[in-house]
Amino acid sequence: MIPLSWYLMLAAGLFSVGLFGVLARKNAVAILMGVELMLNAVNVNLVAFWRYRTPEVIAGQAFAIIVFAVAAAEVAVGLALIISIYRRRNTVVADEIDMLKL
């Protein structure tokens, strides 16, 4: 059988990859893709724990459903923002969107 650790490590790996994508990609859309990867890793983690630790309580899956919803909302808004910024500044390179700089 598959030990829990395998799932957890898979989730961790997916999370790390997503983290790398967030931190290292230029394109803002690519960054959001990384965010999606991380969210998926979280979901995998949640479901794995549900299945292996408390399968009789449905809370794990409910949590995962909520995460789905939030992820979707977040992607929608994020991409809307990116498109808006693209229209204003004609760029989607994260490094060029540095209006927070002093």
Partner 1 sequence: MATETIIWLIPLPPLLAFFLIVLFTNRSKWLSHTVAIGAALLSWLGSMIVFFRALAVEHFGEHIFASSIPWLATGETQFRIGVQIDPLSAATLFFVAWTVLMIFLYSVGYHNFGQPKGDHDRPGLQPHGATVSDAHGHTHTVPSIEPMYSRFFAFIGLFAFGMYTLVVSDNLLTLFVGWEIMGLCSYLLIGFWYAKPTARAAMIKAFITTRVGDMFMLLGLAYLYSQTGTLNYREIFYNQEVLNHLAETPSVIVGLSTAGLIGILLFFGTIGKSAQWPLHVWLPDAMEGPTPVSAMIHAATMVSAGVYFAIRIFPLVSAGSEHGMTSVMSVMAFIGAFTALFAATIALAQNDIKRVLAYSTISQLGYMIAALGIGAYVAAAFHLITHAFFKALLFLGSGSVIHGMEHGVLHTGSHIDPQDMFNMGGLRKKMPVTFWTFLIGGFALSGFPLVTAGFWSKDEILADAWGHGHFLVFATLALAALLTAFYTMRQITLTFFGEPRTEAAHHAQETPWTMTLPLAILAVFSVAAGWVGVPEHFPGLGGLLPNWFHGFVGGTLLEHPEAVAFNAVPLLTSLVVALGGLYLGWLVYRGTTAGAQDPIQKAVPGLHRVLKNKYYFDELYDRIFVQPAYWLAESFTSAWMDRGVIDGFLHWVAMVSGIIGNALRNYIDKPVINGIIGDGTANVVRKFGFTLRGIQTGRIQQYMIGALVTLIFFSALFYYLIFIP
Partner 2 sequence: MTALQVVFLIIAVVTLGAALMVVTTRNLVHAALWLVVTLFGVAVLYVLLDAGFLAVAQVIIYIGAIAILFIFAVMLTRRVASDNIPQTNNNWGWAALVAVVFLGGLAWVLRPWQGFSTQASELSSRADPLRELGQALVSPNAYVIPFEVASVLLLAALIGAIMVAWERK
66-95 residues in contact with partner 2 (CB under 8 A) are 66, 68-77, 79-84, 86-87, 91-92, 94-95
| Burial bucket for residue 41 (CB in 10 Å: 0-12, 13-18, 19+) | buried
Apex CA 27: angle with CA 21 and CA 33, to 5°? 45
Nearest CB to partner 1, comparing residues 47 and 92: 92
Min CB(83)–partner 1 separation in Å = 18
Candidates 11, 14, 22, 39; binder of partner 1 (CB under 8 A) is: 22
Tokens for 39, please give them: 């969210």
Nearest CB to partner 1, comparing residues 56 and 98: 98
CB atoms within 10 A of CB 19: 15
Nearest CB to partner 1, comparing residues 71 and 97: 97
